[in-house]
Amino acid sequence: MNNTDTKLTANAVIAETLDKATATDPDLLVVTCDSRGSAGLNAFTNAHPDRTIEMGIAEQNAVTVAAGMAHEGKHPFVFSPAPFLSMRSIEQVKVDVAFNKNNVKLIGISGGNSYTWLGNTHHSLNDVAITRAIPDLEVYQPCDKYQVKALFKYLLTSDKPAYVRVGKRKLDNVYHEDFEFVPGKATTIREGKDICLISTGEMLYFTLEAAKNLSELGIEAEVVDLGSIKPLDTEKIAELAQRFDHLVTVEEHDVINGIGAAVATEVAKYAYAKLDILGFPDEPAIQGSQDDVFHYYGLDAEGITNSVKNILSK
Amino acid sequence: MNTLDLKKKAVQLRKNTWQLIYNHKNGHTGSCLSCADILVALYYGVMNQTLDNLNDPDIDTYIQSKGHAVEIWYEILADKGYIKQEDLDNGYSTFNTPFIGHPTTEIKGMEFHTGSLGHGLGLGVGVALASKMNHSKKRTFVLMGDGEQAEGSIWEAAMAAGNYNLDNLIAIVDHNELQISGTTNTVMRSNPLTDKYRAFGWDVQEVNGNDVEALVEILSKENNTNKPRVIIAHTVKGKGVSFAENRADWHHKIPTEEEYQKALKEFDAQMEALENE
């Protein structure tokens, strides 16, 4: 599954996908909050000034104005750092976007721990928890360039509101060019019989690496991609909960109410399956490079490998 | 509709609202009475919206940011045939009803769910921006409260409207100087609103917001300023019911039977006076 071709950031893929879509979608708009540069949208906004709505550093208003424009038939994609879009504007997301069923796509950039030393004001380790609790809002966290591209193809044709979280780093490749995104579908990307690892976004690659390490130790882990966090593939999780004695979720998110909690809700229906949730502990995160921070919290390949070994040896 | 008919319409709709709130023991009495003339001016004298052309992209949009004053809006939509009077009278604030205490898109003519304050102006900015992009002739009217002016999101929206020169956006502040806990000057001083909006790049107009003739005139006035327009409408909270006027506690107070009957007599006297004009 692990390809060797060029690694790209999610932002680069998104900008290119939206740029191509301008040829066929006259209503496509990009709404920015003084965030064109961070979103990698300078080329897009220079090429399409008439498609660019700059709202300044005012995330709440950006979301509400986008909702008003969507009401008039526009297709706005709002870009802002994930911590601000998912927290500062959350009431606008709940009311003006989701409750009013306005077709606004909310793109949380530089998500999770991406901002490293900029500190906890800039980290978004609660965004999945809060967005997935809002009715009529879809939540996605793509893992590689192929999934980003396929997800945005879907978003461009869907009329449903959605929140997407992407990070800053160049993404390792998990899928191939022919990947097709289906909302509400969890995908097995590695088969195994001993334990099931479920992950999403950038953590998926580390989870896959951990599965390889485990294989060398004689533990065959199944790896499942939960890029579609909401809608949730409850059927697939039910099947996994019945097939495996142990499941582990891995996410770049607070352990409270992220994908672990989403999976737990389903797993709880099958009392014999044991679930462990790996993620950021419920505390202000330690500061450092993303790799160092992941290592510290046991969220790199080595940490995930060790956790799984411990879980299975209990 | 001539001025006399507009005035009569306002009295009739105030009376209907008073009855609806009394019958169901639910509603924002003082707030509805305060902005009744503004809604009457918009729906019977200014906007080109009717039941039949609602989906036309060039037709005016009304957004009620002070969503709690919904009962007067229901009465207007019933009077104009958007909804059935009977459905409203029987259904308001009953189990599983669309007729709730805030505007909802389940009601024909209500384009947005509102209720959480400070959202309407931003929605109006979005509609007005998109209307310009779509080369639409639509005008967007947004009614706000004056207590609501404390919401920061209003000033984000006000800044954006000025920045984008949205001369197709008309905001109205129902400026009765009262909110649920007291006067707007004691709860959180928003005055002077005129200077604030002017500083944000708006064309600012002031009007007696309970004078339906003056409202129609100012709301219909062409905007040649290249700026969004705000109308500071000086109103009386509880207008039309002598004992409820200028009283903060009538924000959402339900009349007793005695108060109910007394106000009905006042409405009837107002109507009689207009008929003798």
Residues 6+ apart with CB under 8 A from A48: A19, A22, A30
Residues forming a β-bridge with B205: B231
CB pair distance less than 8 Å for B119 and A95: yes
A vs B, Cβ pairs < 8 A, gives 87
pLDDT tops 70 at residue A1: no
Residue of B nearest to A74 (CA): B130
Do residues A107 and A167 make contact, with C-beta atoms less than 8 angstroms apart? no
Nearest CB to A100 within list B112, B125, B130: B112
Single-letter amino acid code for the residue at A153: K
Class of domain A187-313: alpha beta
ipTM surpasses cut 0.85: yes
Nearest CB to A53 within list B127, B129, B159: B129
- Has domain A8-171 been given CATH number 3.40.50.970? yes
Determine how β-strand A274-280 pairs with β-strand A246-254: parallel
Question: What's the mean pLDDT when you consider all of chain A?
Answer: 96
Q: What is the pLDDT of residues B77-88, one digit of tens each?
A: 999 999 999 999
Residue of A nearest to B124 (CA): A68
CA distances from A85 to A13, B73, B207 (A): 20, 33, 38
CA distances from B194 to A23, A172, A183, B71, B205 (A): 44, 55, 49, 28, 8
Q: Which residue do the tokens 């901002």 mark?
A: A115
Question: In angstroms, what separates the C-alpha of A218 from chain B's closest C-alpha?
Answer: 57
CB pair distance less than 8 Å for A61 and B156: yes
DSSP codes joined into one string, A220-247: -EEEEE--EEES--HHHHHHHHHH-SEE
Mutate to test the interface with A, among B106, B114, B123 (most CBs of A within 10 A): B123
Q: Do domains A8-171 and A187-313 have the same CATH topology?
A: yes
The dihedral sign for the CA sequence A276, A279, A285, A288 = positive
pLDDT tops 60 at residue A3: no
Supply the DSSP symbol for B256: P
The dihedral sign for the CA sequence B90, B91, B94, B95 = positive
- Rounded to whole angstroms, the Cα distance separating A282 from B39 reads 50
Do residues B261 and B239 make contact, with C-beta atoms less than 8 angstroms apart? no
| Cis ω for the linkage preceding A49 (within 30 of 0) | no
CA distances from A88 to A115, A124, A130 (A): 17, 11, 12
pLDDT value at position B177? 96
Check which CATH number belongs to the domain holding B199 and give it.
3.40.50.970
Do residues A80 and A124 make contact, with C-beta atoms less than 8 angstroms apart? no
Set of chain A residues whose Cβ sits within 8 Å of the Cβ of B113: 95, 99-100
Set of chain A residues whose Cβ sits within 8 Å of the Cβ of B124: 68
Q: How many domains does chain B have?
A: 1
Set of chain A residues whose Cβ sits within 8 Å of the Cβ of B169: none
pLDDT tops 90 at residue A271: no
The dihedral sign for the CA sequence A107, A112, A117, A118 = positive
Do residues A76 and B129 make contact, with C-beta atoms less than 8 angstroms apart? no
Set of chain A residues whose Cβ sits within 8 Å of the Cβ of B160: 55-56, 58, 61, 65
Set of chain B residues whose Cβ sits within 8 Å of the Cβ of A92: 119, 122, 153
Q: What is the pLDDT of residues A41-61, one digit of tens each?
A: 999 999 999 999 999 999 999
Question: In angstroms, what separates the C-alpha of A19 from chain B's closest C-alpha?
Answer: 19
Residue of B nearest to A57 (CA): B156
CA distances from A55 to A65, B97, B126, B269 (A): 9, 37, 11, 51
Domain boundaries, chain A: 8-171, 187-313
Single-letter amino acid code for the residue at B120: G
Instruction: Inform me whether the C-beta atom of residue B274 falls under 8 Å from chain A C-beta atoms.
Output: no
- Rounded to whole angstroms, the Cα distance separating B72 from A275 reads 54
Single-letter amino acid code for the residue at B194: T
The dihedral sign for the CA sequence B42, B48, B54, B58 = negative
Q: What is the pLDDT of residues B45-89, one digit of tens each?
A: 999 999 999 989 999 999 999 999 999 999 999 999 999 999 999
- Rounded to whole angstroms, the Cα distance separating A216 from A211 reads 9
Quote helix, strand, coil % in chain B, to nearest 5.
50, 10, 40
Residue of B nearest to A104 (CA): B126
- Rounded to whole angstroms, the Cα distance separating B181 from B251 reads 9
Do residues B276 and B27 make contact, with C-beta atoms less than 8 angstroms apart? no
Q: Which residue do the tokens 């052309």 mark?
A: B53
Within 10 angstroms of residue A283's Cβ, the number of other Cβ atoms is: 9
Show pLDDT as tens, one digit a residue, over chain B (277 residues): 999 999 999 999 999 999 999 999 999 999 999 999 999 999 999 999 999 999 899 999 999 999 999 999 999 999 999 999 999 999 999 999 999 999 999 999 999 999 999 999 999 999 999 999 999 999 999 999 999 999 999 999 999 999 999 999 999 999 999 999 999 999 999 999 999 999 999 999 999 999 999 999 999 999 999 999 999 999 999 999 999 999 999 999 999 999 999 999 999 999 999 999 8
Q: What is the pLDDT of residues A11-49, one digit of tens each?
A: 999 999 999 999 999 999 999 999 999 999 999 999 999
pLDDT value at position A4? 55
CB pair distance less than 8 Å for B157 and A70: no
Q: Which residues constitute the domain of residue B7?
A: 3-275
Instruction: Inform me whether the C-beta atom of residue B163 falls under 8 Å from chain A C-beta atoms.
Output: yes
Do residues B153 and B145 make contact, with C-beta atoms less than 8 angstroms apart? no
